[in-house]
Amino acid sequence: MQYYQCDQYPVEFVLSENINKHFDAHNHVGHYVISVVMQGTVTVCLDNNEKACRRGEAFIIPPYAVHSVHQGKDTRLLSMCIGTAFIEENDMETAESILQELSGDAASQRIFGKEQGDKLLVSVREVYRHRNAGRKEMDSGIKILTDKIISCPEQELSIETLAADIFISKYYLIRKFRNSVGMTPHQFCIQNRIRKSQKLLDGEKAIGRIAVEMGFYDQSHFDRAFRKIVGISPSEYIHSKKQIVQST
């Protein structure tokens, strides 16, 4: 897997190939993901609807949408991750112009071809056209808890503490949280610990130290959780990150 990041905007391109990996049910709370199948077939289960996407087909994963993805050994998948703030702060024309420029820079660096870049841009328009369609309003109490977990996922928050925060029983909380978010509070916490740790992994700080800071027992525990969610190890992730050289 290769991660191509941009300094100026919360946009990242991810190229994954030859990984033969099934990513269990999860969601992305802070960004939209637009993916194009470059080779082979990728099976996507989104909100309990399974679809086999073949070469040239694209799919969109909105924030908080629970999904799983299976990639075979012979597949190549290109994804563009766009921060929700970017979508909210820019109108469609502005966003399209910025992303078209980034896509052109990526194509010039042979990260992907113009055809795949054009498919990503078409899907960006779809994001804007349908971003509010079918969006479920999250229960206010659950929203309080998800915001708390996202802001400080490294904190050890027991079910009892979370339930007390919104004045319900821990059993009702687990059921209500799963219905709203698609996973248990513990699963959501681990997922967000990994997402936060991805931002900290730059090769300057020891992986073991980051593991402890993010609330894992040790580096081995961190490695297992990271590989399960990201698909590669923390050290592999560090080496896979590259910067998109912007033309302007």
Please name the residue that has the structure tokens 């020891």.
206
Token pair for residue 81?
């991750």
Q: Residue 25 has what pLDDT?
A: 86
Task: Give φ, ψ of 83 to 5 degrees.
Answer: -60, 140
Task: Compute CA distances 44 → 13, 66, 209, 243, whole Å.
Answer: 19, 11, 35, 28
Mean pLDDT, each 10-residue run in order, the chain (248 residues): 88 88 87 93 90 93 90 90 92 92 88 87 88 68 92 90 92 91 91 92 84 92 92 91 78
d(C-alpha 147, C-alpha 162), whole Å: 12
Residue 126 contacts residue 87 (beta carbons within 8 Å)? no
Q: What is the overall mean pLDDT for the chain? A: 89
DSSP structure string for 83-127? EHHHHHHS-HHHHHHHHHHHHHHHHHTTSS-HHHHHHHHHHHHHH
Q: Residue 132 has what pLDDT?
A: 65
Q: Residue 203 has what pLDDT?
A: 64
Token pair for residue 156?
């050890």
Q: Residue 70 has what pLDDT?
A: 92
Q: Residue 114 has what pLDDT?
A: 86
Q: Residue 185 has what pLDDT?
A: 92
Q: Residue 113 has what pLDDT?
A: 85
Q: Residue 7 has what pLDDT?
A: 84
